A and B are shown apart, each in its own frame.
Chain A
Amino acid sequence: MAQYMLLVYQEEVGPAEQAEREREMPMFVELHRSLREAGLLVGVQRLHSTESATSVRVRAGETEITDGPFAVTKEVLAGYYILDCADLDEALKHAARVPAARYGTVEVRPMMPADEWLRVSREAGADLPDEAVRDMA
């Protein structure tokens, strides 16, 4: 078993087109219910539009706060899923079921388990005790 994050990217559209997408929500609900019943759904969230995004950078000790997403792109992150899957093939199959995949893009990323995170950081020289694994992910 491995965990995958499905990042849903889509264009932010005008009110009429958005209304059309909202009317498709029963399809999302159906998908989420089916994923949950199959025991695969770890988490799912929809994000507010990038109009509401604020980006934070700390440079030379100074915190810079800017209005907007980290990069201005045509398709933006609109939501995500976290799924338990046997392998990439299964994750890709579920990604194709996300209704937004028909007009946007679903990026599938394997999530790094906490013990791997600990191992990778230690190999690079980080000073971390075994119990740090509980706080890593």
Chain B
Amino acid sequence: MSVHAADPVSAAVAHAFRDERAIVLATLIRQAGDFQLAEDSVQDAFEAAVTAWRRDGVPANPGAWITTAARRRAIDRLRRDRSGANRAERLAELTRLEPPDEEELPMDDESTIVDDRLRLIFTCCHPALAMPARVALTLRTLGGMTTGEIARAFLVSEPTMGKRIVRAKRKIAAAHIPYRVPADDDLPERLRAVLRVVYLIFNEGYTATEGDRLVREELCEEAIRLGELLCRLMPDDAEVWGLSALMLLHDARRAARVDPGGRYIALDEQDRSLWDQGGIREGLARLERAVRLRRPGEYQLQAAITALQIHAPEAGATDWAQIAELFGALVTLNPSPVIELNRAVAVGLADGPAAGLALLEPLLRDSTLEHYQPLYAAHAELLSRAGDTVGATLAYERAIALTGNAVERAELERRLGALR
């Protein structure tokens, strides 16, 4: 965030920035019909707030103050810039919203605010934008992240990220990407696209091993916040709750995933006392809410699998049979060799290594997985459990040859060493 909370006024501005920025921006984009104009005007309004609130005191309703200030800035900018497209209509629309005297307009009712943020999410995650642009635009407009922070999180330079965001905004304007919640027949597919963006943001923060750890944690937090916003805005969609549950359940184990030296710790070796029980309870409650809607989906299944892994009092007591069954349902819903692999491992742990190896057999012949390190690591693990030390050695060696990640390599070499 660009505002530091050194004194009460700065703190109030920072607070308003965190809580109100996306709401004000989403509404002004609709009223002004222009992403860039709206964003610049909201930025101006927050900058003006620092001086004005220091002089006049913090207003009773900071959100309303920022909304009015941002709209007036947009009007000023439109009046100054005589060349903009549809300038006259946009000015008319914005000035129509100005109250005749200085008194504040009543705040938009809750439903309009909700709609605007939903519109904003669907526009930022529109399939006509490239995935990296969707992610960046979502974090920039709905999350409070600056371009520099997003650039650091995705390990690209700030000018590159800036260009990516500007290009996306230009495309939204030039191609008339609509600012609205999609119609019913498009909604399920478009909502899936939104959830994919949110989950990608979460995973980027959760799984990547490179980069600034604090910024990565911020990505997880932004994704969880976006998930919560979607739960509030679309409470009738089971997958919205499923994704929110999945992210909370993963995030609750964050502290246990890495040892003080930065080494990754696999689930079955994690210190369960480090798990955040509050996060787990909230995640489970959301999963339950999702399941009650009786519309199964991939995020709910993944969250259910994670819940079962967490539920066991210790790693050895995990209910692998049920996990294998859930992976089976996931494969039916979303056929993917990677999920097949996870299912084979779960079956191997539930019914013995022979059953798992039988499921792994076709995957080992699948050319798309030829260079997929986890396949050989899983093969090695199952062979080792089946007592085939020679086969397991070969599979570990293959997995080691395929990994480019030092942490993974060390772990595989440790397991290979333990065979002998």
Chain A-chain B contacts (Cβ-Cβ < 8 Å), number: 30
Residues B177 and A123 in contact, CB atoms below 8 Å apart: no
Residues A2 and B176 in contact, CB atoms below 8 Å apart: yes
Residues B85 and A116 in contact, CB atoms below 8 Å apart: yes
Task: Label chain B's interface by main secondary structure.
Answer: loop
Residues B178 and A87 in contact, CB atoms below 8 Å apart: yes
Residues A92 and B128 in contact, CB atoms below 8 Å apart: yes
Q: Mark A45-88, 1 if CB is under 8 A from B, else 0.
A: 00000000000000000000000000000000000000001111
Q: With CB as the reference atom, state the residue of chain A lying closest to B178.
A: A87
Q: With CB as the reference atom, state the residue of chain B lying closest to A116.
A: B85
Among A88, A108, A116, the residue within 8 A (CB) of B178 is A88
Q: Which residues of A contact B174 (CB under 8 A)?
A: 110, 112
Q: Is B406 at the interface (CB under 8 A from chain A)?
A: no
User: Could you tell me the distance between the alpha carbons of A101 and B186 in the complex, rounded to whole angstroms?
Assistant: 19
Q: Is B175 at the interface (CB under 8 A from chain A)?
A: yes
Within 8 A of B (CB), among A78-132: 85-89, 92, 108, 110, 112-113, 115-116, 119, 122-123
Q: Which residues of A contact B178 (CB under 8 A)?
A: 86-89
Residues B85 and A110 in contact, CB atoms below 8 Å apart: no
Residues A115 and B186 in contact, CB atoms below 8 Å apart: no
Q: Mark A21-56, 1 if CB is under 8 A from B, else 0.
A: 000000000000000000000000000000000000
Residues A88 and B182 in contact, CB atoms below 8 Å apart: no
Q: Is B83 at the interface (CB under 8 A from chain A)?
A: yes
User: Could you tell me the distance between the alpha carbons of A113 and B85 in the complex, rounded to whole angstroms?
Assistant: 10
Size band of the interface chain B makes with A: 10 to 19
Residues B176 and A87 in contact, CB atoms below 8 Å apart: yes
Within 8 A of A (CB), among B272-286: none
Residues A115 and B83 in contact, CB atoms below 8 Å apart: no
Q: Which residues of B contact A88 (CB under 8 A)?
A: 126, 128, 175-178
Taking the closest CB of chain B, its distance from the CB of A112, in whole angstroms, is: 8
Q: With CB as the reference atom, state the residue of chain B lying closest to A89.
A: B178
Residues B186 and A89 in contact, CB atoms below 8 Å apart: yes
Residues A119 and B175 in contact, CB atoms below 8 Å apart: no
Q: With CB as the reference atom, state the residue of chain B lying closest to A90.
A: B178
Taking the closest CB of chain B, its distance from the CB of A132, in whole angstroms, is: 15
Q: With CB as the reference atom, state the residue of chain B lying closest to A93.
A: B186
Q: With CB as the reference atom, state the residue of chain A lying closest to B84.
A: A119
Residues A122 and B83 in contact, CB atoms below 8 Å apart: yes
Residues B83 and A110 in contact, CB atoms below 8 Å apart: no
Taking the closest CB of chain B, its distance from the CB of A40, in whole angstroms, is: 14
Taking the closest CB of chain B, its distance from the CB of A1, in whole angstroms, is: 9
User: Could you tell me the distance between the alpha carbons of A110 and B171 in the complex, rounded to whole angstroms?
Assistant: 9
Q: Which residues of B contact A87 (CB under 8 A)?
A: 176-178
Residues B182 and A89 in contact, CB atoms below 8 Å apart: yes
Taking the closest CB of chain B, its distance from the CB of A14, in whole angstroms, is: 30
Q: List 6 A-B contacts (CB under 8 A).
A: A87-B177, A87-B178, A88-B126, A88-B128, A88-B178, A115-B85
Sorted nearest first, the 4 A-B pairs with minimum C-beta distance are: A87-B178, A87-B176, A110-B175, A2-B176
Q: List the interface of chain B (C-beta within 8 A of A).
A: 83, 85, 126, 128, 174-178, 182, 186
Extra pairs beyond A87-B178, A116-B85 (10, CB < 8 Å): A85-B176, A86-B176, A86-B178, A88-B175, A88-B177, A92-B128, A110-B176, A113-B85, A115-B85, A123-B83
